[in-house]
Chain A
Amino acid sequence: GESVGLHLPTLSVQEGDNSIINCAYSNSASDYFIWYKQESGKGPQFIIDIRSNMDKRQGQRVTVLLNKTVKHLSLQIAATQPGDSAVYFCAENGRNTPLVFGKGTRLSVIA
């Protein structure tokens, strides 16, 4: 069933360390994946995306890894900063299906 917000998976990291946020997706037909960042009181903000014909994509300080065999997606944030504190959602998209969001992980950066 749905998880309640107070029980969101939480990841706490020290400022400057690397963060890895994981996501499992369920639809094997999904071929497009996106990571969104949601800060308190704001809407989801696009971070990075990846298509199913790739297994890795890098952006500025962020890397997304896709393992289609086990239907797993991860977001790596290098040198995590206090401004990275937020809830991170993965989302998946199939050819004829709308965007489906995962449950989210709360990242807390300890200064």
Chain B
Amino acid sequence: EPEVTQTPSHQVTQMGQEVILRCVPISNHLYFYWYRQILGQKVEFLVSFYNNEISEKSEIFDDQFSVERPDGSNFTLKIRSTKLEDSAMYFCASSALGGRDIQYFGAGTRLSVL
């Protein structure tokens, strides 16, 4: 069964450093998403992406965050200058049709900012 894959599974970084989290969405999907889950809390929407541009973003997704689809398969989330409070699980998701279509999630990247 096709799945969303994310790398790395765990990223440790120093405060102030830049990190790039990588995702390979399901191959025929056109809509891509990033979510964040602080330990033990609910999953929070960060950003959605379609046709090489951001379609929607939350208040969490401020200027230190950016997303990119550098090629035909990868979808990345960059955090420019990490803060302690950025420590969380980051989930990538994709869907074929957007809107009400099912979003399929990857296993996540645990980001630990020291």
Chain A positions near chain B (C-beta within 8 angstroms): 2-6, 8, 32, 34, 36, 41-46, 49, 51, 89, 91, 93, 98-104
List, in ascending order, chain B residues with CB within 8 A of A2's CB: 41-42
CB <8 Å contact, B48 and A98: yes
Query: Which of A5, A41, A49 has a CB less than 8 Å from the CB of B41?
Result: A5
Provide the bound-state CA to CA distance between A49 and B42, in Å.
Answer: 19
Of all chain B residues, the one with the shortest Cβ separation from A6 is B40
Chain B positions near chain A (C-beta within 8 angstroms): 4, 33, 39-45, 48, 56, 58, 91, 93, 100, 102-108
Query: Which of B4, B41, B58, B91 has a CB less than 8 Å from the CB of A3?
Result: B41
Provide the bound-state CA to CA distance between A45 and B91, in Å.
Answer: 12
List, in ascending order, chain B residues with CB within 8 A of A44's CB: 43, 91, 105
CB <8 Å contact, B108 and A5: no
Q: Is the contact region of chain B dominated by helix, strand, or loop, or is it mixed?
A: loop
Query: Which of B100, B103, B108 has a CB less than 8 Å from the CB of A51?
Result: B100
Provide the bound-state CA to CA distance between A102 and B37, in Å.
Answer: 12
Of all chain A residues, the one with the shortest Cβ separation from B43 is A101
The answer to whether A93 and B100 touch (CB under 8 A), given A2-B41, A101-B42, A101-B44, is yes
**Residue among B43, B100, B106 having the largest count of chain A Cβ atoms under 10 Å:** B43
List, in ascending order, chain A residues with CB within 8 A of B40's CB: 4-6, 8
Provide the bound-state CA to CA distance between A91 and B105, in Å.
Answer: 14
A-B contacts, 23 of them at CB < 8 A, read A2-B41, A2-B42, A4-B40, A4-B41, A5-B39, A36-B105, A41-B107, A43-B91, A43-B93, A43-B107, A44-B105, A45-B105, A46-B102, A46-B103, A46-B104, A49-B100, A49-B102, A93-B100, A98-B58, A99-B33, A101-B45, A103-B41, A104-B42
CB <8 Å contact, B103 and A99: yes
Query: Which of B4, B41, B45, B91 has a CB less than 8 Å from the CB of A98?
Result: B45
Provide the bound-state CA to CA distance between A99 and B42, in Å.
Answer: 12
The answer to whether A42 and B100 touch (CB under 8 A), given A4-B40, A4-B41, A101-B42, is no
